[in-house]
Structure 1
């Protein structure tokens, strides 16, 4: 597996996805090597939870990312990643083992993935977690945006199978990149429900930190970029405060849009920074409503994580979110980019506590039953198997030759 992020280096949900999938595949009996980026203080090679992890250090000189243009950095990163991956290949060959499939996660590892595919002569599977066009609502303003779009198109064309996380994303890669439907597979993201069970003491502490005992606590966690829609949540706060004067809103996360969001926020809003582990789980579990206001969301794994933590969820009805949250049953939905509708949905969650508790319980059951990693690992392994060409036995080959001779 190739990924530009992996614990302890996490930027968004992709790293958590790859980590959980790799571990679940190992538990199912597969041998998995993840080649990723070096994190400060992390070992360059180790076995972690049964997964062989190889981390590629960035080459000097360091490449500065400016204006959102990752291309120069990504090119340098792929050189380092390719060398680290070839080291893994040589090591495996020395032990008389070989890799059966390359699994690339998003465009940032595309060049390494295709190089390895050609070097090893094995199938290439690519998971497209999001698209550049989708992140920008179909507008590709600069040259680097258009180049990323082309790299995504190229990766999809080179891959034997393309995995997407929702029917929405299947439609997107088919429409944007012309990927045949029969070459795409929907494998939804998963959640380790036990990992998102918060400790009672931590929940109490989070509640005391962010809201008083009589206050309503609304939260969001994610990368602070435009497409996550936090600006619409902030725009809804005044209306919510009219109904719930003691309302508090916590924004957890960081990103390039943070300063602008802080400018838009009022005194009832706190920015908690990037939270991980028990701190994030505790915030979710302490919340009276967890909001996912995205304008673009291929899947929306964070909504499932919040549900697993026990938080009632309110999500925009866009992308994968519309598929994973059943309105009025496992949460509530509202139109994306509509602060008034967002305020109405959240107010309904805060006002009807009995129905809200029932929805939160149903959501937690749905996560446990439908989004568990063992099942998702099995589906992914089936995609790997389908990507490999059929094995032709000697007997079958002789029969084919005999038939052709006749």
Structure 2
């Protein structure tokens, strides 16, 4: 099949886990014989002079990375304007390169069999290009704005993002989510007139996350958190549980790898809970550094309050790190309590302390659970399996009859009261 994938992230432009997901999916689809064109962008804050549009082929994937237009928009300050400008540049580049330019009179335009959009930021170009080529639009919804905000979207930007997510979902001919909980969330938020929703878990390349047996612990145990420092990741709950953990396991430390908008507030929480000297904030950590942290830690703790999937859990499992995770969203599907890890309810500080104590109290049992988790990866989460199932969705997708739609119904109840450090 000829597949046009549209994503605002693709290496070397990677903002989070979405970029890695799309890269693995595209390269595996290409390896399986599909003709893949990736429509993506050049780095933020550049322009057509410093970073012109490129058309290259890497790992079997044709990558068209479009230059940013010159008007001055900043993602953090002008998110919707920036997103619309990016979408406009994607449409122009896609039409010019794929449908317009011909090097020779005999050369035919490249026409996709399907367009695959990844998340709301590429809704406008993906919908426009699928309509232009008159082919099915498949969209993967990786997360939702309402899900990140306890089910409600009260701020102007929140409402705008939610409405674009709804538009992409309703305009699509088939939808993909990374977990059953995300499927239920998408159906609840954007239904009832949605296309078929397929659940295809994220994959992992275990070759890049090498296994290592747990070292014999000679000193106090070290816990690890890896991920974005945002309220929904629940790091504040882990910090609140740390004093209880240290009472039964003196000297326990926590290493926090990652960046985010809540870092300053989380540092304040360490002072509030009197664990400042027991917590290290490392900031961004490269791949090899993260592997080293996973090899060294007594357990990785992922206390998410909201988690569409939780790829870090798979990465940690591949390295042999014992898993202690919340049951939020996809984490609850990826980790089976007492079999491949230990779990607790989202936001349950006492539950975090109990689960971590159990992991630290029996290192042999923790290692056994970690080995089972790694064995499960090769059976259920390989990228070849993900690509084959995704290609099946492409083949089954048919372009639906379009009808005019009105504006979406947006939840208008104010957000529940939250901690002062939480951003909108």
**TM-score calculated relative to the size of structure 1:** 0.88
Give distance in 1, aligned partners of 2:330 and 2:101: 38
Q: 1:9 to 1:105 in 2, by over 3 A?
A: same
Partner in structure 2 of residue 60 of structure 1:
70
How many Å separate the matches in 1 of 2:308 and 2:14? Answer: 19
1:196-226 CA distance string (max 9 Å, x none) = 11689xx99xx9xxxx951211111111111
- Matches of 1:74 and 1:280 in 2, distance apart? 31
**Aligned twin of 1:138:** 151
For 1:81 and 1:267, the matched residues in 2 are separated by: 48
Post-superposition shift, 1:92? 8.4
Which residue does 1:394 correspond to in 2? Answer: none
Number of matched residues? 381
Structure 2 gap segments, 5+ residues each: 271-275, 401-424
Post-superposition Cα deviations, 1:12-31, rounded to whole Å, max 9, x if no partner, equal 11111101111110111111
Spell out, residue by residue over 1:267-323, the C-alpha distance to the aligned partner (whole angstroms, 9 max, x if none): 111111112321112212221111111101111111111101111111111111111
Q: Superposition pairs for residues 7-406 of structure 1, below 5 Å?
A: 7-39=11-43, 44-66=54-76, 70-90=79-99, 95-96=107-108, 97-179=110-192, 183-197=196-210, 213-265=218-270, 266-388=276-398
1:168-203 deviation digits (Å, cap 9, x = unpaired): 111111111005576111111111111111689xx9
CA contact (8 A) 2:170 2:195 kept: no
Paired with 1:184 and 1:51, the residues of 2 have a C-alpha distance of 26
In structure 2, do the counterparts of structure 1 residues 16 and 91 end up closer, same or farther at CA, with 3 Å as the change threshold?
A: farther
**8 Å CA contact retained: 1:165, 1:187:** yes
Match of 1:396 in 2: none
2:228, 2:222 → 1: CA distance? 20
Contact preservation (8 Å) 2:37, 2:61: yes
Q: 1:45 deviation in Å? A: 2.9
**Alpha-carbon distance between aligned partners in 2 of 1:244 and 1:80, rounded to the nearest angstrom:** 55
Contact 1:5 1:37 in 2 (8 A): yes
**What is the SS of the residue equivalent to 2:291?**
helix
After superposition, the Cα gap between the structure-2 partners of 1:181 and 1:123, relative to the gap in structure 1 and judged at 3 Å, is: closer
Residue matched to 1:404: none
Offset at 1:241? Answer: 1.5
Deviations 1:358-397 (A, max 9, x none): 000000000111100001100000000001369xxxxxxx
Deviation at 1:64, TM superposition (A): 2.5
1:9 Cα offset (Å): 2.0
